[in-house]
Structure formats: structure tokens, C-alpha cells
Structure 1
Amino acid sequence: MASPFDLTERVALVTGGGRGIGAAIVTRLAEAGAHVVIANRSRNVAESLAADLGGRHLAASVAGFDKLDRGGLHELVSDVAGRFGRLDILVHNAGGCPWAGIEELDEDKLDQAMSINLTAAIWLIQAAVPFMRMQQYGRMLVTSSISARLAMGGGAHYSAAKAAINAFIRGTAFELARDGITANAVEPGFIAKPGRGTFSTPENLSRVARHIPMGRIGTADDVAYAMLYLASEQARYVTGQTIVVDGGATLPETGFAAERQWG
């Protein structure tokens, strides 16, 4: 079935696009007609996904994502824009951090949290601006987290990075609004990631789901479809927003604070 969101001839770059939410975003954009460049720290994983999509006659290719400094990320964006002659959609989905209580937090853990969740997004967006301004069109998107508004033990540094990227997106949207460029974030709530950590055990998933108004843990596609909308022409008047995709988990009426856990 054809996607109602037509991205034919659009070029998208998705970081952290190899697995989970990232792979779902890549797949939905490709199904809508975009050529999606997958930038993932594990190149083999990205190449496998690109091959799977190619087998379905969808357009996807791979770019390296092993340099998180300003120069390396500018080079990534320039390479993609140079290869295709344009860059329409940028999705910074790569993220994560080592969990640590405030007394155990050290410089390395803090740097890791900030570099992948905040500064990498800033440098990627900065690099994409000239190309999108030249086109007078663009979609800047980042994957944030409900951790930006819901405190969890062992993740204060992660929460800080995600809250900061939400603020950066608002400022970016303001600066670029007259250039035909939108900037938005999506905040996933509790999303099932099979086989990853104690949170993914059936017992924990069931316990957490009881406190979500919709009664279930989210899926990667729940996030990907929000991204697809924001990447589309239908979202042309939406900018500077953070869309929460959490089944209502952060509504104040849920009393979810009792279920805050370490990551």
C-alpha cells in the first residue's frame, strides 16, 4: 500500500539507523519514496538493512558514522549532499549513554552522554543548514526522550542532554523558519527493545505497561510514524515542537513516578 506521505525524490540521512527505532524510521521513510542514507556505528548492521530494503526495491545506502567531532559530522553531511545533489531530511536518532548515579558520574560518562545526544545533533544540523537553505526546504529531526521531563535514577546526565536538545531544536526552528526548514523532536516513551537489558524482560514490560494509560509498551513503529509525519509535506506548518510518543505515560494523572527505574 502506498504511503499517504509522499517523499519521492527526497534524500534523507538517518543516524543510528541500523536497529530498533532507527531501523523503523529508515524503513518508513524508504517506503514513502525517499532515498535513505543509513549512518550507523556498526556498518555491517547498516549494510544488512540497506540490502533488505533494496530487496524490496526501496532506495537505501550506507555512510560511515564513526567520527562524532564537528569535522567528521560536517564531512558526513557534505558527502551525502554531494553524492545526491541535495539533502532534504536529517534525522539524528543515534543516542544512549552509560548509566551512573550522581556520585558515580565521571567525565567520560558525561562526555559520552553529551557527545552523542547533544553535540552530535548540533554539528549535524549546523552542517545541513547551508544545503537546506539553498533548497529553501528541509526537515531537521531528532529523537529525544521522555527522560527530558521524567527523572530516572542513574540518568540525570542523560536527561540533561535530552532536555538541552529539545531547547536547541526550538531555537533552530526559530532561526530557520523563513527558509522553508522545519526543526522538530520526537520523545519516545517506553519502547520495547527485545533482548536489551533487564527492562526488556516480560515481567518488567508487564509491570511498566500497567502504568501506561494505553496499557502497552510502545513499538519502534510508533516512533517512526511520528517521524514520517514530521518529515512530510503535511507537517510543513509544524516547527519547534517536541512530540511525545509514550501512550500517555507522562500525563500527570498516571502517577508513573512510582515506577521510575534505573536504565
Structure 2
Amino acid sequence: MAQPFDLNGKVALVTGGGRGIGAAIVSRFAEAGASVIIANRTLDVAKALAADLSARRLDVRAMPLAGLDRARLHALVSDIVRQAGRLDIVVHNAGGCPWASIEELDEDKLDDALALNLKACFWLAQAAVPVMRRNGFGRILVTSSVSARVAMAGGAHYSAAKAGVNAFIRGAAFEFARDGITVNGVEPGFIAKPGRGTMSAPEIADRLGRHIPVGHLGEADDIAYAMLYLASEQAKYTTGQTIVVDGGSTLPETGFAVERHWGLT
């Protein structure tokens, strides 16, 4: 397939890039010509992906993601700049948290959700922006979630963190707009994870698909291609935005509206 978005000469960092959506982002960016660093807590998984892509003569390498606190993320960015000489694109894709009702939630779970999903955005931007500003080009991208705008039982802390991510995107985009740096995100809906988790079961995927207007779960590449656009020169006039990629799942008022419209029983 012809590559419409050219990332040749760009250096990209993808956190949580070892599998799923992150691995798809890494692959699409590398195919577009970027030198991609995968920062992953499970280094072996990242190394395996880097080896597979390197075998295709793509420029991908793995680095450990020891933690998401300010000091470690600043050190990670410094290491990348020291080795590669620049950093043009940062994708904070690492995310998630354990499900817990509000009544069951403890301080550690809440702090972890905020640190992983939200606080890391600030520390990565803080570390990367001075480098990007010197080059007059930068892309800060975040994998957010439709959970930022809809509710799921047991996920209020996750939704709150992702809503904060969307607010971060707007605020950071405004602050860095005159520096050639754009800040954007993608909000995935239900994305299939073959072989992983509850949604990998065909019967669960089928049930979920009935409540999604397009009729099925999305794929990791659906998110990766949206990220590829946002990382490209073609997206230079897009900033402070999130692209919802959810098959229309947030459009109807309820799942019943989907069933009634298509006559499902």
C-alpha cells in the first residue's frame, strides 16, 4: 500500500508499545520511515517486536520503561536524545488500571490510575518539549479513551483520568502552539485483542458488536492509522483535539437504540 504520511528522519517514542494498540502504532510509524523507540515495562515483549520489525529492515529498538514518575521519564527522554540526537514524536500509549467500584477504591488504585494515564503526559511533555522546540517541530500524542465521555461501572477512576488526559491535550496544545508542536489524542472504543482478555472470546466480541453501529469491534490498526495522521506533517493545523475511533458506539443513547434500528433480537 502506498504510504501517504512520510515520517522519514523523525524519531518517535511510544510508551506501552509492546503489544496491541501500541504495537500497531510502532509498526505503522516505522513503515512510514520513523526511527521508533518502544518503551515498555515488559522489556522482553518490546524486544521481540523490535526484532520482528528490524528483520523487515525497519528502524525499531526497545528500551525499558522502569516507571512513570517524573525523574524516570525525564531520564528516558534524555537517553533517547543522547543516542538519537533528537526526538520529534512522543506517543503516550501506556494506560489502563484495575477495575474497582468507587466504594471499593483505595488510595493506591486511584494514584496508580492517575500516574499511569494522566501524570505521565505532563512529565513526558515537560521533558520532550525543549528538544522539539529547538527543532521547530513536535508531536505529542496520547491514547485516551471514550471512557473520558461515557460511564462504565467499576471504571470511574479510569474515566476521570482519561477526562483529565483530554483536558491536558487542550491545555498543552494552547501552550505550545507557537513552537511548531501540536498535541492531540485518539479515543478508542472497543478494540479487539486477539488471544488476550475477555473480549478475545468470540461470543463476547459478537455480543459487544451488536451494540456498536458498525456491527463489530475495532482493530488496533484503526487507532494506529489515526495516530499516523496526527504525527504527520499533514496534521500541522490540527491541535488540541481527540479523534474518536469507536465504530459509532458513543452515538446512540443506548444499545437498545442500535437493536431497534437494525431490527436485532
Task: Tell me the TM-score normalized by structure 1.
Answer: 0.95
Number of the residue aligned with 1:179: 179
Number of the residue aligned with 1:195: 195
1:143 aligns with 2:154: no
The Cα shift of 1:83 comes to: 1.0
Task: Provide the C-alpha distance between the structure 1 equivalents of 2:33 and 2:39, rounded to a whole number of angstroms.
Answer: 18
| Residues 98, 112 of structure 1: 8 Å contact kept | no
Deviations 1:21-47 (A, max 9, x none): 000000000000000000000111111
Structure 1 residues 128 and 214, CA gap change in structure 2 (3 angstroms):
same
Number of the residue aligned with 1:134: 134
1:224 aligns with 2:224: yes
Task: Provide the C-alpha distance between the structure 2 equivalents of 1:22 and 1:119, rounded to a whole number of angstroms.
Answer: 19
Deviations 1:84-109 (A, max 9, x none): 11111000000010100111000111
Task: Provide the C-alpha distance between the structure 2 equivalents of 1:73 and 1:44, rounded to a whole number of angstroms.
Answer: 20
The Cα shift of 1:187 comes to: 0.3
Residue identity in the other structure for 2:255:
F
Structure 1 residues 212 and 179, CA gap change in structure 2 (3 angstroms):
same
1:255 aligns with 2:259: no
The Cα shift of 1:63 comes to: 1.4
Number of aligned residue pairs: give it: 258
Number of the residue aligned with 1:18: 18
Aligned structure 1 segments of 4 or more residues deviating by more than 4 angstroms: none
Unaligned runs of 5+ in 2: 259-265
Number of the residue aligned with 1:3: 3
SS of the counterpart of 2:177? helix
Deviations 1:152-189 (A, max 9, x none): 00000000000001000100000100100000010000
Number of the residue aligned with 2:237: 237
Number of the residue aligned with 2:210: 210
Residue identity in the other structure for 1:28:
R
Identity of aligned residues (%): 69
| Residues 141, 184 of structure 1: 8 Å contact kept | yes
Task: Provide the C-alpha distance between the structure 1 equivalents of 2:48 and 2:253, rounded to a whole number of angstroms.
Answer: 40
Task: Provide the C-alpha distance between the structure 2 equivalents of 1:15 and 1:79, rounded to a whole number of angstroms.
Answer: 14
Structure 1 residues 195 and 258, CA gap change in structure 2 (3 angstroms):
farther
CA RMSD in angstroms comes to 1.4
Task: Provide the C-alpha distance between the structure 2 equivalents of 1:157 and 1:10, rounded to a whole number of angstroms.
Answer: 35
Task: Provide the C-alpha distance between the structure 1 equivalents of 2:23 and 2:168, rounded to a whole number of angstroms.
Answer: 25
Deviations 1:203-255 (A, max 9, x none): 1111111111111100000000000000001101000001000011101x352
Residue identity in the other structure for 1:246:
D
SS of the counterpart of 2:169? helix
Residue identity in the other structure for 2:177:
A
1:163 aligns with 2:163: yes
The Cα shift of 1:257 comes to: 8.2
1:86 aligns with 2:86: yes
The Cα shift of 1:2 comes to: 4.0
Number of the residue aligned with 2:55: 55
Task: Provide the C-alpha distance between the structure 1 equivalents of 2:3 and 2:227, rounded to a whole number of angstroms.
Answer: 13
The Cα shift of 1:256 comes to: 3.4
Residue identity in the other structure for 2:25:
I
Structure 1 residues 257 and 180, CA gap change in structure 2 (3 angstroms):
farther
Unaligned runs of 5+ in 1: none
The Cα shift of 1:258 comes to: 9.2
| Residues 173, 182 of structure 1: 8 Å contact kept | yes
Number of the residue aligned with 1:66: 66
